[in-house]
Amino acid sequence: MSNKVLVVGGGFSGITAALEAAEVGYEVYIVEKEPFLGGRVAQLNKYFPKLCPPSCGLEIQFQRIRNNPKVKYFTMAEVITVTGEAGNYQAKIRLNPRYVNENCTCCGACEEACNTTVENDFDFGLGTRKAIYRPVIFGLPQRYVLEKDKCSESELAEVKKACPYDAVDLADTAKEITLDVGAIVWATGWKPYDVTKLTNLGAGKLDNVVSNMQMERLAAPNGPTKGKLVRPADNKAPKNVAFVQCAGSRDENHLSYCSYICCMASLKQATYVRDLYPDAKVTIYYIDLRTPGRYEKFLARIRQDSNIRLVKGKVADIAQGEGGDVILTVEDAVSAVKSRETHDLVVLATGMQPSVAGQTLPIDVAMDEEGFITGGADKGIFVVGCAKKPLDVMRSAQTGTGAALNAIQTVSGR
């Protein structure tokens, strides 16, 4: 039997599971497909329960990883196949080329020498970045990434020449390694639901209609507007903001389930608006407001703000108004009155979908029709965080701790 643990996914729940196992003496491998550890939390402006910036919680975790030789991590990596059984798994891992080696100091000289710009997927298309870029300013590892196929040969030569530390490695290639492990923690997380499918809500068509994750990036200091919360169409400060709840969730045509975090995310984002613009008005259109446990206190705080209006009603349609404004067709569920409401910025509270939805997994586990993983424990495969069900950061971390204990019991034969 192998007493090593494989953690697939380097978000908050995966990191938690890895550290809990490593700090009691077990060797752990983290495999993350992105160029950085941190997952979705790294894209937030603030997160519950303390409304901390992501660098706060993640930096503590990164320090624990740096200080623990039993944790090894691979970024830009993916699991290709898994064979074997509990206690004796062989996982084949593909390491994709980064084209920047460990000599990188993040001085930025390579980025200055690069002229090619591409859409920034980290900011959900709200901005652009260079073809060689630093993924997250506080990320791990602290190293640039080059999208080699986006640049010409001459530009690549200039980028390599600009680096004073010989960190740009244009000869880098994909590699494969095999890891022998006794247990697997599956922590592949979630992705925002595709808002372009919500055609009646103006997603992808109206510039001043954004998703809740785009809202996080607009408010974030390291986002496309450097924390200036403005309308994408004209960079004007919003004065009348609407949040549309259950945008794609609890809908048989999209996501049939409640995504759990959306109500709390909108309440949190309402404070972003009110903190930056004291005179701004905020309206939250909801079906049900779900703020379990300690979050009821946060809801009570929001209700005390006279500039925040909570309307129980369904938004049926969103259309373009004048001057970049947006017009919502709303049916008030209490008064049964149908009205047209004008706002200058609309945020769609789009739900969370498992990252592996629609994919074929390299592990033999059961999945439900929505893509959440429902089995695996009997095989030494333990699912955590939002790969299992919709959860917030705190509860995702709790599942990581539980999975670490289960993995330890598996590899130790208990």
Query: What pLDDT, in 10s, does the model give residues 130-167?
Result: 999 999 999 899 999 999 999 999 999 999 999 999 99
Q: Model pTM?
A: 0.95
Q: What angle do CA 256, 260, 262 make, to 5 degrees?
A: 95
DSSP 386: G
Q: Which long-range contacts (CB under 8 A, 24 or more apart) does 236-240 make?
A: 236/324, 236/344, 237/276, 237/277, 237/280, 238/273, 238/277, 238/280, 238/344, 238/345, 239/277, 239/279, 239/280, 239/281, 239/344, 240/280, 240/281, 240/283, 240/342, 240/343, 240/344, 240/345
Q: Tell me the three state secondary structure of residue 235.
A: coil
What is the identity of the amino acid at 164? P
Q: Is the separation of the CB atoms in 97 and 172 below 8 Å?
A: yes
Q: Is the separation of the CB atoms in 267 and 308 below 8 Å?
A: no
| Helices marked H in 206-364 | 212-219, 262-276, 295-303
Q: What percent of the chain has pLDDT over 70?
A: 100
Single out the residue of 94, 93, 69, 68 nearest to residue 184, CA to CA.
93
Q: What are the pLDDT digits (tens) for 244-263?
A: 999 999 988 899 999 999 99
Single out the residue of 344, 343, 354 nearest to residue 384, CA to CA.
354
Q: What angle do CA 365, 257, 201 make, to 5 degrees?
A: 125
Enumerate helices (H) and strands (E) in the chain, giving the number of each.
Answer: 8, 21
DSSP 201: G
Provide the token pair at 250. Answer: 């609890």
Secondary structure element (H or E) that encloses residue 62, with its range:
helix 54-66
Provide the token pair at 346. Answer: 């609309």
Q: Is residue 336 predicted with pLDDT exceeding 80?
A: yes
Q: Is residue 414 predicted with pLDDT exceeding 70?
A: no
How far CA 374 is from CA of 257, 370, 383, 388, in Å, comes to 15, 11, 8, 7
Q: What are the pLDDT digits (tens) for 277-286?
A: 999 999 999 9
Query: Mind listing the domains of the chain with CATH numbers?
Result: 5-96+174-189+355-411 (3.50.50.60), 109-162 (no CATH), 194-351 (3.50.50.60)
Residue 67 CB-density burial (10 A; 0-12 exposed, 13-18 middle, 19+ buried): exposed
Provide the token pair at 111. Answer: 């980025």
Single out the residue of 110, 87, 218, 207 nearest to residue 156, CA to CA.
110
Q: What are the pLDDT digits (tens) for 46-70?
A: 998 789 899 998 999 999 999 999 9
Q: Tell me the three state secondary structure of residue 121.
A: helix
Position 354 confidence tier, pLDDT thresholds 50, 70, 90: very high
Single out the residue of 109, 317, 32 nearest to residue 203, CA to CA.
317
Computed over every residue of the chain, the mean pLDDT equals: 95
